[in-house]
């Protein structure tokens, strides 16, 4: 089983998306999907449809990561940080690193022409509140603090807990940490990986997952306990019961993890973090381990509030 950490300008169909279709289809087109808990293959037509959705999900994730990498090439190797672009507060009222939310990061890429709004909603998405932003404004967005100077459309929303429609299906690495020096690699915490590091074991974007509230460790095995065992994330594939999804890494690779997380099931992962005492422990990508004093463990989510410290971020799950 694979594990998390085991090893381009116009609206519409972008060049990044076109390149990603070819690359990801070759990489993951043969992935198999099996029935939840039964171990029996699905019927051929259902399997073909699910494989097609999985490949498209991977294509979109790879396209987002490629857009981030291209952005980094022109911005001191750093992935998009809205706080470093909207320094005059022309786009949103939040100050400083509070701007670095999921919605603002993706909206900045859309406004720049690197991805499209449709690319941010997975074909696996089953939450009816999450759908592509049909009214994204590429010129003088009315939701901006000063529309004529705006650098993205703030009406793009990633929060599916409220009454508004949400426009994103994908999780990403929490960009927390102190910004030091010119490049992210000189920064602290997870921010040290928020850029073109090209390290194959660093996950950066994924199909969104279910919230893990605690993890029990037994040797090399991890037993996550989920906040909601009926999360939509456990039924991206039918029949449900387990999380299967795509994960993109900082070398641009995309891996499909088939039935990787499920309530009551053990997880084996090669990803590690160090505790305050220096012990090496299994690292769960959808969980911010509280005993990681460096704040550098893998933690992927959708973030509706942001800041410098991990505690200043708010993540959203269903």
Reported as a single tens digit per residue, the pLDDT across 23-72 is: 443 343 333 333 333 345 667 887 788 889 999 999 999 999 999 999 99
Q: For position 20, what pLDDT does the model report?
A: 44
What's the CA gap between 192 and 194, in Å, rounded?
Answer: 6
What's the CA gap between 300 and 170, in Å, rounded?
Answer: 9
pTM score of the predicted model: 0.87
What's the CA gap between 178 and 159, in Å, rounded?
Answer: 25
What's the CA gap between 301 and 316, in Å, rounded?
Answer: 7
| Residue whose entry in the numeric block shows the structure tokens 């009551």 | 264
* Dihedral (Cα; 225, 226, 230, 235), 10-degree rounding: -100
What's the CA gap between 72 and 78, in Å, rounded?
Answer: 5
Exposure letters 161-179 (e unless 16+ CB within 10 A, then b):
eeeeebbbbbbbbbbbbeb
Q: For position 19, what pLDDT does the model report?
A: 45
- In the structure encoding, which two tokens stand for residue 123, read together? 């074909």
The beta strands (E) that lie in 199-285 are given as 203-207, 212-218, 221-226, 243-249, 254-261, 267-268, 272-274, 280-282
**Listed residue (177, 54, 170) closest to 109, CA to CA:** 170
Statement: residue 223 has pLDDT above 50: yes
Compute the chain's Rg from CA coordinates.
Answer: 19
pLDDT tens sequence across 235-293? 998 778 999 999 999 999 999 999 999 999 999 888 999 999 988 999 999 999 999 98
What's the CA gap between 287 and 192, in Å, rounded?
Answer: 18
* Bond before 121 cis per omega within 30 degrees: no
Statement: residue 18 has pLDDT above 80: no
- In the structure encoding, which two tokens stand for residue 69, read together? 């990498």
| Whether 114 contacts 60, CB under 8 Å | no
Q: For position 296, what pLDDT does the model report?
A: 92
Exposure letters 27-64 (e unless 16+ CB within 10 A, then b):
bbeebebbbbeeeeebeeeeeeebbebbbbbbbbbbbb
By percentage, how much of the chain surpasses pLDDT 70? 86
CB atoms within 10 A of CB 235: 16
């Amino acid at each position: 089983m694979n594990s998390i950490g085991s090893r381009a300008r116009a609206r519409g169909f972008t060049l990044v998306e076109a390149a990603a279709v070819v690359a990801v289809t070759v990489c993951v087109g043969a992935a198999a999907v099996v029935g939840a808990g039964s171990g029996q293959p699905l019927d051929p037509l259902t399997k073909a449809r699910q494989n097609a959705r999985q490949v498209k999900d991977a294509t979109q994730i790879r396209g987002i990561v490629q857009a981030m990498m291209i952005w980094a090439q022109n911005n001191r190797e750093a992935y998009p940080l809205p706080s470093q672009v909207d320094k005059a507060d022309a786009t949103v009222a939040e100050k400083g690193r509070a701007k670095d939310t999921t919605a603002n990061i993706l909206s900045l890429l859309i406004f720049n022409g690197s991805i499209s709004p449709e690319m941010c909603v997975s074909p696996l998405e089953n939450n009816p509140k999450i759908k592509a932003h049909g009214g994204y404004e590429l010129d003088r967005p009315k939701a901006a603090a000063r529309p004529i100077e705006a650098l993205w459309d703030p009406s793009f929303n990633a929060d599916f807990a409220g009454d508004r429609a949400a426009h994103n299906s994908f999780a990403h690495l929490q960009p927390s940490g102190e910004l030091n020096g010119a490049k992210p690699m000189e920064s602290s915490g997870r921010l040290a990986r928020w850029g073109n590091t090209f390290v194959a074991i660093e996950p950066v974007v994924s199909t969104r997952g279910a919230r893990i509230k605690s993890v029990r460790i037994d040797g090399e095995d991890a037993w996550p306990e989920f906040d909601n065992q009926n999360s939509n994330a456990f039924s991206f594939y039918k029949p449900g019961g387990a999380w299967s999804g795509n994960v993109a890494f900082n070398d641009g690779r995309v891996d499909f993890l088939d039935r990787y997380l499920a309530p009551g099931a053990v997880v084996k992962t090669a990803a590690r973090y160090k505790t305050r005492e220096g012990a090496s422990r299994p690292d769960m990508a959808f969980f911010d381990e509280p005993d990681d004093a460096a704040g550098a463990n893998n933690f992927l989510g959708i973030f509706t509030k942001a800041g410098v410290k991990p505690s200043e971020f708010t993540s959203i799950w269903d």
